[in-house]
Amino acid sequence: MKNWGKMVFTTMRTAAIATMVALSLVVPAAGRNAQSLSSSSDKVDQSDKSGARTSDQRVKPLDSTQLAPAEPVTAADDAAIQAQISSVYEGFYNSYRLGPGDVIGIYIDKHPEDSVEKVTVSPVGRIYFPLVGNVTVVGKTLPQLQEYFSNTVAEYIKEPRVTLSLLEASSAKIGVLGDVRQPGVLVMARPLRVLDAITMAGGITETGSPKLSILRQFEDGRVQILSVDLKKILKGKASPEDNLYLRAGDTIVVHGNLFKTVQKISTFVGLTTLVTFMTNGH
């Protein structure tokens, strides 16, 4: 396992360059590696007579009753995974730069009449705050804006305690969890393949496995688990189904010490909440 981790880490940058292709390529449909939570024999995508790809209605929502874990989930496992997810959330909220369509809340302690429960960033990157007027927020992080509003509101309210919350993040996001060097949320500024996302997450650690799972949630709540073998990608033997293009909202799970098997994924409520956040932004 250690040799595998070192090989991935040292070859990741070179391999990632080889995966860059023209941006006009479309996302390949999930193929033979797709697993339905209801049954491993269910086909997730079907071709209709016109050749279009359609999602099989048999794909079920992520539910701990669908898959029995291969081994008992210990309190230590649960605590470690929840700690990583909490860290991912915190890192995202502190570094995320607001864009059009994002929704934030501005709360001033003991001054609800001056607070704004919910406001959407306009197409030109502004919001309206009654005490201040129009404020340009695009490109700013929440900590930056919290400092700005605290200083500005201080002209009207003595020692204000201002709290900002990100209610909806509309930017396209990808989650990377498990045994990677920098687990977190990636904002898609361009089309990304699996290897691109792993590279952006710093590569797989020495305890990580080349066997990856991608959790993909649909608008109606159905979740699809795709299996990917990174070893094939690094050896140049990958099919389009292996090094596939990611969709906004996908969450990659790198198996290893933290997530040992795909069967254990469905037992963590915190993970299902994160998958929903990736897909819907809230």
Tell me what pLDDT residue 79 has: 87
Q: What are phi and psi of 103, to 5 degrees?
A: -120, 130
Which listed CATH number (3.30.1950.10, 3.50.50.60, 3.40.50.2300, 3.50.30.30) goes with 103-168? 3.30.1950.10
Do domains 2-95+171-280 and 103-168 share one topology? The answer is: no
Tell me what pLDDT residue 58 has: 34
The model's pLDDT over 60-92, given as tens digits with 9 standing for 90+, comes to: 344 333 333 445 567 887 888 889 989 998 999
Tell me what pLDDT residue 206 has: 93
Q: How far apart are CA 22 and CA 19, in angstroms?
A: 10
Domain at 2-95+171-280: CATH code: 3.10.560.10
Task: Map out the domains of the chain as residue ranges.
Answer: 2-95+171-280, 103-168
Q: What are phi and psi of 56, to 5 degrees?
A: -70, 130
Tell me what pLDDT residue 85 has: 87
Residues of the chain with pLDDT under 70: 1-73, 261-269, 282
Conformation bin of residue 125: beta by default, left when phi > 0, alpha when psi is -120 to 50: left
Cβ-based neighbour number of residue 232 at 10 Å: 14
| CA 81 vs CA 77, 129, 228: distances in Å | 6, 38, 21
Q: How far apart are CA 163 and CA 106, in angstroms?
A: 6
